[in-house]
Structure 1
């Protein structure tokens, strides 16, 4: 599902009168989560899940076919941990 399809889905699920209103809601949610994560704050929606930032350690490796090695730097990455309600809903849909 791409963004346009998701906006249509939100319009129907949220009883928005226009597609533009639904798109505004989706964009506002995405912007709010991005802003919170960029400030290293987590966003927890009980039953749905938790958006947070975590430190990903740098890795070292060897380039195949040569003796060159490399090391990547530590960096902050976004992470989503689904909540029990979402896990249960997905498991129920599979049956």
Structure 2
């Protein structure tokens, strides 16, 4: 049996408390929906950065792992968000 990275298991998204406009509550630090790391805008690394990826609810590191996968039928919460945001 081979071990797979945890981001490939398709874990359900974390519950996020939102206000009436759909934004995360300001009292709680914003976190990536996939890895739950806090966003760090001062992180300037090119790869594995924990800053927010554009306007998505995911960090750069999770988006990079999603884009770099070599699995043909890969589908994760980032792909789902991208599909939902285009409609």
TM-score interval, smaller chain: under 0.3
More helix by percentage:
1
More strand by percentage:
1
TM-score by length of 1: 0.26
